[in-house]
Amino acid sequence: MALTSTQQQMLTLIAEHIRDEGVPPSQAEIARSFGFKGVRAAQYHLEALEAAGAIERVPGRARGIRVCHPVPGGQQVLALSGTAADDPDAVRLPVLGRVAAGEPIGTAIEHDRHLLLDRSLFAPFPDYLLEVHGESMRDEGILEGDLIGVHQTAQADPGQIVIARIDGEITVKRLAIEAGQVRLLPRNGEFAPIVVEPGQEFAIEGLYCGLVRPHRITQRPAHRVRRR
């Protein structure tokens, strides 16, 4: 079923609202956005969108609307299985690049992928995610391909797992400070500690605060779009 111009704009509005607010708009908010006199007109177009397979409505939920297909020009969002955009415990986090669990590697910052996750997976609350490359933190349960939550901070205590920048490259390790010397410790006996030498550029980028594994993640669109 082909969508009318109004229905396409409504689909865009719904996706944009999920992106910005983390929840779909209510029928009253949709009606106000389009200048409808009441929610019945909004309901009519939502029914048409559902019949066309563009959205799914969840019975008994005030904001129970899910976008079923990507909106052209949208931004990919993935979700932990079972996590919905209208879940009050859901958070939307960007995947910003890769982090080494081995020797430090550079990180290519990306902004085209986000994840919708349950906030209870992390402590403290993360600001972004990084994809793990390497096995040096294996005994900590941090494996190749995992997505780790990073709480952005420049402060850390010895013994904490940190995301650190050394000479412009990023790694994840356990922090140790002994006799004033900073060491970054792996959790895999096949890897040697990294000793931060005098004169090296060094900074704490954040604290490790939990992880998710890709096999638990499924596609769920919540796309960056603009209304005309």
Find, among 11, 150, 15, 18, the residue nearest to 90 by Cα.
18
Active site residue 173: yes
How far apart CA 45 and CA 155 sit, in angstroms, is 51
Nearest CA among 102, 107, 162, 172 for reference residue 135? 102
37 catalytic, yes or no? no
What are the beta bridge partners of residue 218?
79
How much of the chain exceeds pLDDT 90, in percent? 27
CATH level 2 (architecture), domain 5-69: Orthogonal Bundle (1.10)
116-154 pLDDT, tens per residue?
777 777 778 888 889 899 999 999 888 888 889 899 999
Helix (H) or strand (E) holding 225: none
On the question of pLDDT at 214 being above 80, the answer is no
Under CATH, what is the fold of the domain 90-216? Umud Fragment, subunit A (2.10.109)
pTM, two decimal places: 0.58
Residues of the chain with CATH 2.10.109.10: 90-216
pLDDT at 181 over 80: yes
Taking only the tens place, the pLDDT of each residue in 58-106 is: 776 667 787 775 554 444 445 554 555 555 567 778 888 778 776 554 4
Question: Within the chain, what is the greatest distance between any pair of CA atoms?
Answer: 72
148/154 Cα distance (integer angstroms): 17
Residues of the chain with CATH 1.10.10.10: 5-69
